[in-house]
Amino acid sequence: MREYLQFYIDGAWVDPVAAKTADVINPATEAVAGRISLGSVADVDTAVAAARKAFGSWSQSTREERLDLLGAIQAEYARRQTELGDAIIEEMGAPASLAHGFHVGLGAGHLQTAIEVLRDFRFDEQRGATMIAREPIGVCALITPWNWPMNQTCVKIFPALATGCTMILKPPQLAPFSAQILTEILHTAGVPAGVFNMIQGSGSVIGTALSKHDDIDMVSFTGSEPVGVQIQQDAAPTVKRVALELGGKSPFIVLDDDALAANVGAATAGMMGNSGQTCSAGSRLLVPASRLDEAIAAARDAADGVTVGDPKGNVAMGPVVSRAQFDSIQGYIQQGLDEGATLVAGGLGRPDGIDQGWFVRPTVFVGTNAMSIAREEIFGPVLVIIGYDDVDHAVGIANDTTFGLAGYVNGTDLEQCRAVARRLRTGWISINGGFDFHAPFGGYKHSGNGREWGDFGFHEYLEIKSLLGYAPA
């Protein structure tokens, strides 16, 4: 059993101010997998003071010094990738192939991207007699979720380091193990004391204390919309910057062509990845109404083909993260049935043959965009198919949501795909499976504000200073 009972503050592992612990549950077995300490406001004060003290020197570090540090982190990250993957399997139930693959790979990708961006990033820009300087914003609070623990943590830490900021990380209480290992990686790589600090604990205590703290200059949060709203309210009196990546109810538009069945199958299988616990998941599958029967058959086959079971084995889908998440998803499935949606695959309860762990059946409905299962973020392996009459109708359905995080357009006519993608009111759109670590990621509307990934992620951690008369006109 894992025990992570110390925090990382000012370059050292330290005991919490007050001894309070919480169990971490393995969602595949429902057994206790480990214990962590729960931090307090006093721990936050200590960590913020350390980060503030370190900011004076780290903010003045050179590009070369930061590149050297990121390179050292990269070497240590590569050395401990297997440990990170094992931790992710245990803490949130990701299947081994996914945990050791895309989960850990996303963290490595964001680290490599930060190195690539930093090499050529323009911190200074001369405009006539004026110098426009981009400087680190200061001490940053990084609050991360449990669903993609390395992705969401690394996409914040490495741009913050690269731009000269200092920081306090609050990892998710439900999935804290991988963040602990990542902290060990940073320490071994030689991050200067106080530049990076980590406190485990509950969002209501640690997250609130960070959001309200006078000496925090910026909060970067990924998570649910209600919590994001609360963070903005908590941060408002101190007028700090708040960057939010929140929920989604993203459309996946399959165009009317010969590839329809294949595209529907891929969209369905993709929705079930990570047990549907992905903010950018294409949870509304829009298909031509005239070919609805064909789409249903393809989606059913794909959902029925998703193997579910012990995440340490050769399966495509493990459990969801907790009993509370399981119960919430079951409630949405029941709501779909109550509202008259047609069940195509899956349904209530655990998959056949599984009687332990928070496993959900890969579920597909046919419904309308007015139903709760099409309006609200379920955050589980539940897909709703919605028919459209023509492309204009599809775009209208896609945009009829309070969210705007992601979107997907698949079809054989690339020009048509591009035209449809241009019309979607959402921040990140994948055309025929496109993916790019340097592309900005973030949402419109209730899906948040600000952008992460690539050079756009650097700007979240920078202030802009105008130096007039810096040079002769």
245 is catalytic: yes
pLDDT, residue 239, reads 97
pLDDT, residue 472, reads 74
pLDDT, residue 473, reads 61
Domain ranges of the chain: 2-246+447-467, 251-436
Kindly provide the b/e burial profile for residues 129-139, where b requires at least 16 CB atoms within 10 angstroms of the residue's own CB.
eebeebbbbbb
The answer to whether 446 and 247 have CB atoms below 8 angstroms apart is yes
Kindly provide the b/e burial profile for residues 269-300, where b requires at least 16 CB atoms within 10 angstroms of the residue's own CB.
bbbbbbbbbbbbbbbbbbbbeebeeebbebbb
Nearest residue to 322 via CA among 151, 146, 169, 180? 146
Token code pair at residue 8: 């990382």
Pairing of strands 12-14, 196-198: unpaired
Q: Which of 91, 245, 377, 460 is catalytic?
A: 245
pLDDT, residue 270, reads 98
pLDDT, residue 324, reads 98
Gap between the terminal Cα atoms of the chain: 66
pLDDT, residue 258, reads 98
Ranges in the chain, pLDDT < 50: none
Report d(CA 337, CA 346) in Å as an integer.
12
Q: Domain 2-246+447-467 falls in which CATH fold?
A: Aldehyde Dehydrogenase; Chain A, domain 1 (3.40.605)
Nearest residue to 332 via CA among 397, 379, 398, 300? 379
pLDDT, residue 352, reads 96
- Per CATH, the number for 251-436 is 3.40.309.10
Cα 5 to Cα 193, 196, 221, 408: the distances in Å are 20, 18, 24, 42
3-state secondary structure the chain: CEEECCEEECCEEECCCCCCEEEEECCCCCCEEEEEECCCHHHHHHHHHHHHHHHHHHCCCCHHHHHHHHHHHHHHHHHCHHHHHHHHHHHHCCCHHHHHHHHHHHHHHHHHHHHHHHHHCCCEEEECCEEEEEEECCEEEEECCCCCHHHHHHHHHHHHHHCCCEEEEECCCCCCHHHHHHHHHHHHHCCCCCCEEECCCCHHHHHHHHHHCCCCCEEEEECCHHHHHHHHHHHHHHCCEEEEECCCCCEEEECCCCCHHHHHHHHHHHHHHHHHCCCCCCCEEEEEHHHHHHHHHHHHHHHHCCCECCCCCCCCECCCCCHHHHHHHHHHHHHHHHCCCEEEECCCCCCCCCCCCCCCCCEEEECCCCCHHHHCCCCCCEEEEEEECCHHHHHHHHHCCCCCCEEEEECCCHHHHHHHHHHCCCCEEEECCCCCCCCCECCCHHHEECCECHHHHHHCCEEEEEECCCCCC
Model confidence pLDDT, tens digit, residues 285-337? 999 999 999 999 999 999 999 999 999 999 999 999 999 999 999 999 999 99
Nearest residue to 145 via CA among 228, 42, 242, 78? 228
